[in-house]
Chains A and B, each alone.
Chain A
Amino acid sequence: MPVPSLKGKEVDYSDIALPSQDQSNLATLPSPPPWPTSRSEFPTRERTHKILFDASVDKDRDGRFRQLIEKIQQLDPNSEHRIKGKGKGKELLYRYEGEVVEGTRRLQSLRPGRGEFHIIKYEHDQHSVGPPPPTAVLAVNISPLTSNQQIRRHFAVHGRILSFEPEIDKTTGSALGIVYIKFSTHDEAKICVEKEHGGKSNGQGSTLSIQTIPGEELKVVLDDDAKSKLRAILRELDDRRRKGKEAALIKKKEAEAGEPFFPQHAIHYLLILGLLLQLSQNQASPACSVTDKESAFHHKWPIKPLLTESALPSSVLPIPFPLIFKIEITIEVPLTDLPQTWQSQREVVDAELERNGNEYVTIEESGGGQLGSHVKEEDVRRFFDGFKVDKVLRDHLGWCVTFQTSDSARKAKTVLNAGTRTLAHTSVMLSVHTPPSSWTPSMRAAAPSARETSRRWRDGDIAEEAERLILKELRTLLERDVMDRVIGVKLRQMVTDEKERKARGVKVDFLEGDAASEEKEKRGLKGLSFKKNRVVKPQPPPTVEEHSVTEVSPSREADEDQVDELEAVQRPKKRQRVVTEDVTEPELEVSPAVEEVEEDDSALSLQDNIAKRKEPPLADSEDVRPIKKSKATDKKKAESKPTAVEEQSPTPDVVIPGDIDFEVPVITEVRLSPERDSSAFATPEPTSSWSDPIRDGLFEDDEDMYFAKLALSRTSDGEFIVPLPRVSAEEESDPDAPPPFRVHSTGSARTEGYYKITHAEKTAYVTQYTAQAKAANKDVIPEPAVVAPTPTVTSSRSNRANARRRAQGIEEINQMQRAMQLSLGETPATDQVKFNQLQTRKKHLRFARSPIHDWGLYAMERIARGEMVIEYVGEVIRAAVADKREKAYERQGIGSSYLFRIDEDLVVDATKKGNLGRLINHSCDPNCTAKIITISGVKKIVIYAKQEIELGDEITYDYHFPIEQDKIPCLCGSAKCRGYLN
């Protein structure tokens, strides 16, 4: 509609001063439309005007409307229609009939014009129908060697991860590089897809912190909650695997049949390819997976198809599947004749397995890795204690256990996979395999290849080189891993140690007296250790060969952990060499022979020896002993501090030095300590006679020893304060350690008087708390060796004791919260957490149809006489309310009455709110009684057993209804039945 113009007047507005931003708008203000405007032909009842400005409600911030009003008043004689209200500044500015006055703000249309129909999209909320937008993403092409934590960390950048499900190969348990990640919101998932999709990593410099499969992009797609895409991928994988196997079999048959189409050479080539194919596809046949020597090694490693020309279905999904390999024989990896060793080992194991004929079990660590080398046959046997173990076999892949009976393997799997037992302190997974027969496909495949190696070296080399290629890559990855996890951590630790030491420098100097520098301090410590006096007993130096043979033992090479260890052995040593220079230097003068051979190892072991040798003189003076010991250990620490391996080096070998066959402590992390092994070798014989320090060479004669004792015992007088800060530092550094017992300043518990012991403190020494804490985090707190004498007798009692303790704990929390609220100036709320003691004493019950009436309650455990059965829980209402409700319920047709009178005033109504207690039926000869007890001022109805209640008995009590006119028949069926309830 054209804007009507103000009647015949041309006004120059330019002289009006206006606020800055609207100046131009107002300047072009058209003349006001005529008034009254011409009425529409069809008058509407609709409002034809709009209040542009109302002084009483609108704010005229920049004075725009004010000016407008004045302007209009000035220009339009009929302005009283447009401007209503009296008094300056209190007018209402009207606009009629869609008249637009320039200068008033027009809303910009947010929606662009649409030329076609369009489906409206709403944000998903609780009113929406249909599936919610996907919050999950599916990431594929992640390198299977990437650890789950790493992947998780990588993706956690984009949002909170609700669930993280890495897919594993169902047959081998190895990672597939497919991860299903569920974020908390759709947006996060979307961002993740945007950021991650198409990412590529081929080396250190990439933006991705995780590795993808070499040559492939990381693919991240949205997936719905039903994991439809994931399933599709897995199905596809299965399909391909199956087809691949079939194809391989066909090829092999063809090859065996000696098709003239292929030249002899090509057949062999194909055979090997078939073999490799099988390996990398993680064969479905369990027999293959174990009988094949390389399989376990390979299956974790994706071999990227570089040259795909095969009858196999071409890959739709970029999942690594080797079809045919182009193997470059260029890498020089110095490998020994490991494969041969494995081969022979494997053959022995295979022969054993075949001879046994029953199903056997292989052991794998729960995380999917291989078991470490520390596991021994006895451990395995102990693990399988109770099963008829026939033989425990070991090869480079791990452990195989055969059984005397055919079903033992499966039984063992079901029992032991439950996780109750641990093998050498690690939880393991068992998998059952059928025994290899002498003619399994893999054997067939292996046999010709073996034959081939003897005849045609070129082809055999191919397989080997493939292996080396893989090994090399594995090694680089591991190196990086070790760099990240082991060395990085150590470095940091070292730095902090150094700082700490500097901070304590003043105190340490005390030892020396005049020593100023740290260097000197160390020497001072050494001087104190009588090392100079010692006649050097040359230890047979460990030979490098010995070391390497055990460490790089062929049987371990395939084992991932083992390789890891190998790396760890080499790498930290270098670093150590750098750091320990100042320590090894004084060693040089003492034992140059040892140093020549293996400087760092010997340095360490010698230090250990020093620590050890300091102990002998302690044996004869008992009262000095503890102090001296602590001093010795302290010195040991001081010495080994710069090596940054202090915690690891001394402990194991001080206990049983030289005894290689000792129980290796559990290694939870990859923090492998080469020192442990090396020192074990470096000190092949323990200092056999610790009792005689003189013979040991620590002291020259009795007099010397006497003075030494004197010097050491002086520490007990507190002259040297070095050990104290060390101890306290240790205590502080261990947050997991239970809080130390309170030290009574007055001397004993009784003289201390009463003091509050917090719940947390109690966990340190009360078994029950410990058990609770243990449930939360398992093997952190060792259980005190307390044997409950008669658990049957004490169980219910200790239950109640526990309940009380829990109640107390909750009470403490409540008190704390109240105190906090008070301190914040708020009024404390009533107990946030209420604890119902009765709840914990409840018996195990269930409800079922009852012959007495409708539903009844049945005992699921034996209940002794006098024990509490259940509390009758419901709304506590006044009697008057109860009467009303009763009538209301009757009207509503709720036939059963769930009202229970507590006393004159109060009734418990369990009709709408209550527990199982309301289902208990009446009986004229009941097995329970209802008692009203007062717990902390609140009356409660509790049902107690009147007699022994057997398993499955219905719980009944006497309702004790008052006698009334209209009788309710009783159906309790007991001999003493009165016939009516009332």
Chain B
Amino acid sequence: MEENLPQTQQRPNYEPRFMLSGHTMSISSLKFSPDGAMLASAAADKLIKIWDTYTGDIIKTLHGHSGGISDVAWASEGEFLASASDDKTVRIWDFNLGTAVNVLKGHTNFVFCVNFNHKSNLLASGGFDETVRIWDVARGKSLKILPAHSDPVTAVSFNFDGTMVVSCAMDGLIRLWDADSGQCLKTLVDDDNPICSHVKFSPNSKFVLAVTQDSTIRLWNTQTSKCVKTYKGHTNVTYCLFACFSVTGRKAIVSGSEDSKVYIWDLQTREILQVLDGHRDVVMAVATHPTKNIIASAGMEKDLTIRLWFDE
């Protein structure tokens, strides 16, 4: 029956295709390049590795950080990457050169998350010093320091047009900021504010997807400051797991889980569409391909593999 439905209505059927191994410590972040041809993985072993999405080959290894890496982000042209590390710096890497072109120093403690805006002229980073910093990528200078939270900032993200920044922290607050003025526009907070692991704008920037460490993923409407959807079923109580929108097939939410699985929920109906089983440890990092039905997921210490799941 489902075969007759258009692709956007079909149940996903992801199958594992590649197992990429190379990292020697827990993989903390995975990101597909903007064109989807490459996958960047950052790990606690201080390395960033770039993989070919379609062949599973390793393309490059970027080293230079003196601390484990917590997050990595691609600039929109796919030429540069930014990484956030325990060495309190954010490094900007030139993918072609394979070296760091800029080291952004300023955070007074571990940097936890990093993201470019769509134009890739700005970069937002957050860390254990409880600030969100907005950087001018070209000059490598800090433009703004937002005393955003009272606990480590776990995620920052620009909206589509770069006018807003959303940040969340272990204090359980999700804040929306005006990217130009640095003013806090809104604070999304639940009654029992659980630790917030990850936050990102929906592709249309009207919603914010927030992962919290009460094993729940919520979708907030930024206009009304209301929680519109709640996704449950996975386990998340310790780690700052990632969650992604999957927009290539049926609109779905993809997230890792501490029970070593990857969960895919239907965006609208909130039902679990598929559970990807295979990793042998907590799946912290997941990424969805921008154009194809591909999901990348990575396990922690006991697993250390990146798996690419394809649905065709």
Contact = CB atoms under 8 A, between A and B. Distances in A.
Interface in A726-770: 741, 744, 746-751, 753-754, 757, 762, 764-768
A21 interface: no
Given A794-B147, A798-B147, 16 more contacts: A744-B86, A747-B45, A747-B86, A748-B85, A749-B152, A750-B71, A751-B300, A753-B240, A754-B239, A757-B152, A762-B130, A764-B109, A765-B109, A766-B109, A789-B143, A793-B181
A804 interface: yes
A789 B145 CA distance: 7
Contact of B68 (A747, A765, A767, A787): A747
13 contacts: A741-B110, A744-B44, A746-B301, A747-B46, A749-B86, A749-B112, A749-B152, A750-B239, A750-B240, A750-B284, A754-B195, A766-B129, A804-B171
Contacts of A808: 150, 171
B43 interface: yes
B146 A794 contact: yes
A714 interface: no
Nearest to B285: A750
Interface string A765-796: 11110000000000000001011111001100
B28 interface: yes
A797 B147 CA distance: 7
A866 to B, nearest CB: 12
Contact of B108 (A746, A765, A804): A765
A284 to B, nearest CB: 54
B276 to A, nearest CB: 20
Contacts of B284: 750-751
Interface residues of A, number: 31
Contacts of A744: 44, 68, 86, 110
A754 B26 contact: no
Contacts of B108: 765-767, 784, 786
Contacts of B301: 746, 751
Interface of A: 741, 744, 746-751, 753-754, 757, 762, 764-768, 784, 786-790, 793-794, 797-798, 801, 804-805, 808
A747 B112 contact: no
Contacts of B195: 754
Contacts of B45: 747
Nearest to A803: B150
Contacts of A768: 147
Interface in B1-47: 25-26, 28-29, 43-46
A753 B152 CA distance: 12
Contacts of B144: 789-790
Nearest 8 interchain pairs by C-beta: A747-B44, A748-B68, A747-B68, A751-B26, A750-B70, A748-B44, A753-B238, A765-B109
A797 B149 CA distance: 10
Counting chain A CB atoms within 10 Å of each CB, the highest count among B67, B111, B284 belongs to B67
Interface string B121-156: 000000111100000000000111111111110000
B183 interface: yes
Given A751-B300, A765-B109, A746 B145 contact: no
A794 B108 CA distance: 19
Nearest to B144: A789
A751 B108 CA distance: 19
B98 interface: no
A653 to B, nearest CB: 31
Nearest to B143: A789
Nearest to A770: B108
Interface in B250-292: 284
Given A751-B25, A793-B181, A757 B106 contact: no
B217 interface: no
Nearest to A801: B147
A750 B28 contact: yes
Contacts of A801: 130, 147-150
Given A757-B152, A794-B147, A801-B149, A751 B44 contact: yes
Given A767-B108, A797-B184, A748 B86 contact: yes
